[in-house]
A and B are shown apart, each in its own frame.
Chain A
Amino acid sequence: MTTYYSKDHEWIAVEGDVATVGITSYAQEQLGDVVFVELPEAGKALSQGDEAAVVESVKAASEVYAPIDGEIVEANDALADEPAKVNEDPEGAAWFLKMKVGNADQLNELMDQAAYKAFVETL
């Protein structure tokens, strides 16, 4: 399994041809307490940059973008009932969605953990 990171503060863990997408710990910290999560339906086809999910905190509503092209395989419906999970375990149990990798080349545009860490330090 390889994990990638985007400039929109999403992590993408790829195993085989399935990518699991969530928001980073930095993102949940910036958002503050998450109060609402809206997830896509399985089967929805998305292009890179399309709105995939919505995460709303006490401060603001933000979009989670599709980091690559692909079709939604599964959404983490538990988040809808328990949005607080996003604050507790953003890079683990609180994954947002799994998508079928439509274009593996797009993964190369993403950052690895070290590059993301360096990126966050510039903010």
Chain B
Amino acid sequence: MSMNTQGRPTAPGNAGESFRPKTFTGNRALDMEEPLIFEFGSLETTGVDLDEDDGIEFELGAFERKADIGLAGLAEPEAMRHYVRLSRNNYAIDSGLYPLGSCTMKHNPRLNEKMARLPGFSDIHPLQPVSSVPGALELIDELAHWLMVSTGTHAVAMSPKAGAHGELCGMMAIKAAHTAAGRDPKIVLVPESAHGTNPATAALLGFKVVSIDAKDDGTVDLATLKNRISEHTDNIAGIMLTNPNTCGLFERDVKEIADLIHDAGGFFYCDGANFNAIVGKARPGDLGVDAMHINLHKTFSTPHGGGGPGSGPVVLSDRLAPYAPLPFIRKSDAGLELVETNAATSEDEQPFGRMTAFHGQMGMYVRALSYMMSHGSDGLKQASEDAVLNANYIRVGLQDLMSLPFGVRPCMHEVLFDDSFLKDSGVTTLDFAKAMIDEGYHPMTMYFPLVVHGAMLIEPTESESRASLDLFVATMRDLVMSAQRGETERFSGAPYLAPRRRLDETGAARKPVLKWTEPEPAQVTPEAAE
């Protein structure tokens, strides 16, 4: 029998579980205390060997660089470690349930990534001859086809690069249609339950925003809508409605709203951010929508934020189709043709202008179409059904403990709670959200929408399993009961276990530090210098 004769202990030590050593490095095992790249990189070094620049002739004239650009030089392994360490402090859909309501943080299938990396898509350049990229045009056209079929519309502007950009595009098309008809209406109606970007878009285009109150059930009040329309007869440019709305509720009167707006001479802009709840179930075109953007990064699974650019194609009704911006793809018997300039337009094409330098987010188009084709129309429909089912599973799991502002009724793809269940507990929505971080969850969307007090908007998405939802519900129940038992410490100081504790939001907003500045060299006293 071989024996442990090297003195290597085989049993755990006897330090108490609560003992936390104060480490020399500041690291806590895998939780690295990572400095800024400027704090450890050197401005004098570079990670690559470059020849001395003798004999290089600068041809930039007045644009020649006048000073160093001040980038820290790092060796490749140092750069790699820096970003990998930072990424470990990041919460991502690939690391856990991400219940940010209104954002739709759904899984990004790896098949999408594989398709987007095909050289025929990833290695093309927007300025190469159009004749050399027929496949790219065909893909854009095919995606446009899927978008039009699923929304019941006949035109789509592909170039907008995000949801709000799409809103701007749709509203510019509406403005162009009014101008073409010799009209100049000034009022855009925006319900309280709409996305915050809606009134911002209307205001940016010079419209006056008139707000429509919500009813007690969280949806648009038709009576107020009618009053506002009659107060502004002949001056209604349109309405911007989010459906399903930001309370996670379907606007059941949508058809009547559309008719009222159309009768008043206005257009119906629908914010399609929540289209993921109704794909395959209802077609916005059938509901009277004239323009709607689609967030490919929500409904069609392309990455959010740092994972990839957004993309917000806008579907348009027949009445708005002529005003779609440049560039666009024209389909004819001769095949697909890219229309880039006003000179190339035909009589019934009156683009209001151009919103982007090139054709949009090609990489996102590939990913979105990959998602659509791998799911098929039945799969897309099921994804919507599962998204709604998952949100309702959470609603039912929590509604006896948390408070539903609009009563017990089915929600769509997200469920909205207010903070009345925390009343007199000394715990706020913000504290509650911070305590979720200690439990390993990204908090839900909070304090939005503004129509309810202390809002908590939870959107699990369809890609969570039942086990995952059960754990989330159980965690939330534990937190609620803890708050109601008066265990305020668990909340008021949270997060306790994150790499950073609670940040000073007020200080960050009042005195933001947006730029790294080199610290002053430490003062050396004469005694220390000796």
Spell out A's residues near B (CB within 8 Å). Answer: 33, 35-36, 58-60, 83-84
Contacts and interface: CB of A to CB of B under 8 A. Distances in A.
A65 to B, nearest CB: 12
Contacts of A33: 505-506, 509
A58 B505 contact: yes
A72 to B, nearest CB: 20
B38 interface: no
A60 B509 contact: no
Nearest to A33: B506
Contacts of B401: none
A58 B450 contact: no
Given A36-B509, A84-B510, 10 more contacts: A33-B505, A33-B506, A33-B509, A35-B506, A35-B509, A35-B510, A58-B505, A58-B506, A60-B450, A83-B510
Contacts of A60: 447, 450
A33 B450 CA distance: 17
Interface string B492-530: 000000000000011001100000000000000000000
A86 B29 CA distance: 44
Contacts of B447: 59-60
B78 to A, nearest CB: 36
Contacts of A83: 510
Contacts of B450: 60
Interface string B437-455: 0000000000100100000
Interface in B195-236: none
Nearest to A59: B447
6 residue pairs, one from A and one from B, having the closest CB atoms:
A35-B509, A33-B506, A58-B505, A59-B447, A35-B510, A58-B506
Interface residues of B, number: 6
B265 to A, nearest CB: 24
Looking at chain A's contact residues, is the secondary structure mostly helix, strand, loop, or mixed? loop
A121 to B, nearest CB: 14
Nearest to B447: A59
Interface of B: 447, 450, 505-506, 509-510
A110 B391 CA distance: 43
Contacts of B506: 33, 35, 58
Nearest to A83: B510
A35 B447 CA distance: 17
A33 B504 CA distance: 11
Nearest to A36: B509
15 contacts: A33-B505, A33-B506, A33-B509, A35-B506, A35-B509, A35-B510, A36-B509, A58-B505, A58-B506, A58-B509, A59-B447, A60-B447, A60-B450, A83-B510, A84-B510
User: Which of A36, A59, A83 gathers the greatest number of chain B CB atoms within 10 Å?
Assistant: A59
A33 B505 CA distance: 9
Contacts of A35: 506, 509-510
Contacts of B509: 33, 35-36, 58
A45 B395 CA distance: 49
A114 B118 CA distance: 71
B446 to A, nearest CB: 9
Contacts of A59: 447
A116 B505 CA distance: 31
Nearest to A35: B509
A119 to B, nearest CB: 16
Contacts of B510: 35, 83-84
Nearest to B505: A58
A84 B504 CA distance: 14
Nearest to A56: B509
B365 to A, nearest CB: 34
Nearest to B428: A32
Contacts of B505: 33, 58
Nearest to A82: B510
B182 to A, nearest CB: 29
Nearest to B506: A33
A73 to B, nearest CB: 25
B97 to A, nearest CB: 25
B362 to A, nearest CB: 35
Nearest to B429: A59
A8 B428 CA distance: 23
A30 B447 CA distance: 11
A60 B450 CA distance: 8
B457 to A, nearest CB: 14
A58 B510 CA distance: 9
B320 to A, nearest CB: 30
A59 B450 CA distance: 10
A59 B506 CA distance: 10
A114 B450 CA distance: 27
Nearest to A123: B453
A59 B428 CA distance: 13
Nearest to A30: B453
A54 to B, nearest CB: 12
A50 to B, nearest CB: 11
A84 B510 CA distance: 9
B297 to A, nearest CB: 25
Nearest to B450: A60
A33 B447 CA distance: 14
B60 to A, nearest CB: 41
B188 to A, nearest CB: 15
A75 B509 CA distance: 23
A101 B510 CA distance: 33
User: Which of B447, B450, B506 gathers the greatest number of chain A CB atoms within 10 Å?
Assistant: B506
A103 to B, nearest CB: 19
A35 B505 CA distance: 10
B22 to A, nearest CB: 32
A33 B509 CA distance: 10
A62 to B, nearest CB: 9
A100 B450 CA distance: 32
A34 to B, nearest CB: 9
Contacts of A84: 510
A58 B447 CA distance: 11
A67 to B, nearest CB: 17
